[in-house]
Amino acid sequence: MKSASLALLLFSVVIPWRAGAAEAPPRRPNFVYVLADDLGYGDVRCLNPEGKILTPNMDLLARDGMRFTDAHSSSAVCTPTRYGILTGRYNWRSRLKSGVQGGMSSDLIEPGRLTVPAFLKQQGYHTACIGKWHLGFDWKRQPGAAAFGDNIEKGSEGWRADFTKPFGGGPLGAGFDTFFGIAASLDMVPYTFLENDHVLEIPTVEKAFPMTVDKAKSGSTRLGPAAASFEAENVLPELTKRAVDYIRSRAQAASAGQPFFLYLPLNSPHTPIVPSAAWKGKSGISPYADFVMQTDDALGSVLGALKEAGLSDDTVVVMTSDNGCSPQADFAELAAHGHNPSFTFRGTKADIFDGGHHIPFIVRWPAKVKSGSIYTGMVCLNDWFATVAEILEKPVPKEAAEDSISILPALLGKVTAPIRNTLIHHSVNGTFAIRQGPWKLILGADSGGWSAPKPNDPASRKLPAVQLYNMKDEGDELRNRQAEEPETVARMTKQLLKEISNGSTTAGSSVP
């Protein structure tokens, strides 16, 4: 009788504990998304073994995670790509149909549109943006001052803003809990740090910076409003420090069950190319190469902070770039050292050719992703939204992430069919291209950007109106097959027009 009572007591104690354990939700990972600015595919050593720039931390990330060899930004320039990353929507569905915004432009992300940080906040995440925003703010203006447009403003036009008043919109309006960084590219005004909804130091002087340090003939950034203490070369170190501090500050909460999302869009190696004193000459190649190495070191600091906090295994780390490398890097100088930032791809940043949008993409998630793995299929930076949702086993609302497809099957090594059958590309002047399997169709005769043949050049007007390339057989995009494959041109043109007019290329949900 006593043994029966003891057994009953043990049953009543043990069973609730087991039930509670079974009901405990699985541990949710942190997300750290590091976005370099104008970093070429060929600049990353693990992707380009012939490259001459050392990138040990990116290489380490790839060794411990997965490399994607056919990853693309949704645009060949920065503002549009950032829109796609945070919304899961093709950039050309926004009001910005070509070009990029300036630092004084208004919010590009539409009011009420669900973003990755807003979605993650709904799941209990803490969200932070540290770095270059470049998606607009609601700046308060001086009395009678004209509104800012979506174009890059002349530097002096920045004085139309009233920097003493809090601004609206920006990262906080897009769903981030906290923000520290700069308004746009570091060659655009205002030259001052921003925090949450205000300017940290009010601009009181005008400044401009050399496009490339120690190169007098490289030109300079736009002359305009600047904080007296603001110097371009201090931006990357400060963003790195802030990112490390953020990880440390969130470590205890993350370990206790409140994970975080850190979006870290760096200012480098975009112009002004300003490696810190400790990095000048490190590469033995050029200031641009030095700046790439410093960018890699920033990633190393972030990885070190995660390791120190004991969060490495529970954190998904993404390292990528917003588009291809800019001609400002001085391709001729790099080529003299045997280095090509565009790898084997044709063109550069801004182009519809692959050099404009074929970018490095590396993901580490020790708990799930096999170390040293490679995925060779097409993926797009827009796919971040759906991937996060599927990792958390949460549906994406049908009105959100219209062009995002989860890459989780690739990360888990469970791909049974291509993740993407179709991918749409976009250049700085609004030229479209579409990839389907090995074929790439460009609806234009020229580069759509900054490489030859340039738009409106006399030579370009003599070329066929469309370009068709077999990217599997001839990835250099030099042999135009449009005349040989009229049916392929017709089929792909029809598909592109359909996907543009449909308003969505996905079912709108990453989880059935």
* pLDDT for residue 23: 44
Q: Could you tell me the pLDDT band of residue 217, with boundaries at 50, 70 and 90?
A: confident
Burial grade of 52 (CB within 10 A; 0-12, 13-18, 19 or more): middle
Query: Tokens in use for 220?
Result: 């300079």
Nearest to 467 by CA among 492, 449, 497, 498: 492
Q: Quick one: pLDDT at residue 297?
A: 98
pLDDT band at 125 (very low <50, low <70, confident <90, very high): very high
What pTM does this model have?
0.94
- In this structure, the number of other CB atoms found within 10 A of the CB of residue 332 comes to 8
Overall average pLDDT of the 417-444 stretch: 97
For the segment 59-108, what is each residue's pLDDT rounded down to a tens digit?
Answer: 999 999 999 999 999 999 999 999 999 999 999 999 999 999 999 999 99
Instruction: Report the pLDDT value the prediction gives residue 9, as an integer from 0 to 100.
Output: 38
HEC letters along 400-465 = CCCCCCCCHHHHCCCCCCCCCCEEEEECCCCCEEEEECCEEEECCCCCCCCCCCCCCCCCHHHCCC
Helix (H), strand (E) counts: the chain = 12, 16
- The 8-class DSSP code of residue 232 comes to G
Q: Tell me the average pLDDT across 451-480.
A: 95
User: What pLDDT digit, counting tens, does each position of 277-315 carry?
Assistant: 999 999 999 999 999 999 999 999 999 999 999 999 999
The answer to which of 133-137, 198-202, 356-360, 455-459 has the lowest mean pLDDT is: 455-459
Whether the per-residue pLDDT at 21 is higher than 80: the answer is: no
In order of their start, the domains of the chain are: 26-415 (3.40.720.10), 425-502 (3.30.1120.10)
Count CA within 13 A, CB hemisphere, residue 340.
11
C-beta of residue 435 within 8 angstroms of C-beta of residue 458: no
- The pairing of strands 361-364 and 315-321 is antiparallel
How far is residue 446's CA from residue 437's CA, in Å, rounded to a whole number? 22
What does the pLDDT average to over 378-402?
A: 96
pLDDT digits (tens, 9 = 90+) for 414-424: 998 999 999 99
**Residue 112 scores a pLDDT above 80:** yes
